[in-house]
Amino acid sequence: MKLLNLNIMAGALCLASLSAGAAVPLPALNVDTANITVSGLSSGGVMAINLGYAYSATFRGVGIFAATPYLCQYHYTYESCQNKNVITTAMLDTMQTTINSWSGGAIDSKANIASQKVYLFTGTKDNTVGVNPMLAVQEQYYNNGVPSVNLIQAANTGHVFPTDFTSVGNNPCSTSFTPYISNCGYDGAKAVLTQFYGALQPRNNAPAAANDHEFNQREFTGNLGMADTGWVYVPATCAAYAKCKLHVALHGCTQNYATIGDKFVKNTGYTRWADTNNMIVLFPQARADLNSYSTVASGMQSNLNACWDTVGLYGANYAQQSGVQLSAIKAMVDRLSSASH
């Protein structure tokens, strides 16, 4: 998996279930707006970081599996920000200068970052991102006032989303290959959600398929890098308008529905925990875009692997609130939260 394929190659609601294949409008639900969080793997991890900085007043927790610091690809080539490369203090200082200048304008006040709950995970056998870039992510959060940022460095683990159960098509933990979801004997979904919400009720290992809903993403964006539809998991209690937490789970490159089907939605474990903990899980979807674009720091690039835009394919504002993909996901969050009381 690459963070971006850069010409190189990862109840009460009237909703249709994922298996039915009929996209419906994203519903308005009763979301606890003090408990909105986000996480992601690889390019989804970078997007989680971007959302957490750009909309720090909204996202109270950010979980990052194998990603790179905020604005690294804004100032430097994507290759220099990953591939186990050391990201120097001078590079972080350059990124921080931009964060400071955008704070309270292009992005929410950076003062909000200090109160976020942050979860970091990387595998020691991850050659796509690696430990060094994640150490820089950790340092960047310290630089922005987060008092405690623990980085899990999992031995014999590749560039994968870790679980503690086996699913069809998954690979050994040390193997970085599609679908990039592996039984590593470590429940990544539980770990990140516990970091945000504290002790959880026991998971349901067979969440109802009827709670998976395909929704129309075109209500929120016409962006060529986002799919026509996304998915949302809504437990029955949340569908009946109980107040529920909201978590946004962002797939990595080649983990979109068009490439691996429902594996990221169903095999990462998020919905198993959501089902018993009054938690809605939003799964926005990226898609491949074969066109070439001029990026901010990485020259002309295309996106063959359905990665999220982490280099500015669709504009130099990609990491700001006005960025087309960030603003679309924020609009989805706002829709889901619009019946909150």
Q: Which residues are catalytic?
A: 42, 126, 159
Beta-carbon-side half-sphere exposure of residue 162 (alpha carbons within 13 Å): 28
DSSP state string for 86-150? ---HHHHHHHHHHHHHHBTTTBS-GGGGGG-EEEEEEETT--SS-HHHHHHHHHHHHHTT-S---
Q: How many other β-carbons are positioned within 10 Å of the β-carbon of residue 231? A: 24
Provide the CB-side half-sphere exposure for 10 (13 A, CA).
27
- By CB atoms closer than 10 A (0-12, 13-18, 19+), residue 286 is buried
Terminal C-alpha separation, the chain? 41
Would you put residue 302 in left (φ > 0), alpha (ψ -120 to 50) or beta?
beta
Q: How many CB atoms lie within 10 A of CB 58?
A: 19
- C-alpha–C-alpha distance, residues 95 and 243, integer Å: 38
Backbone angles phi, psi at 89, to 5 degrees: -60, -40
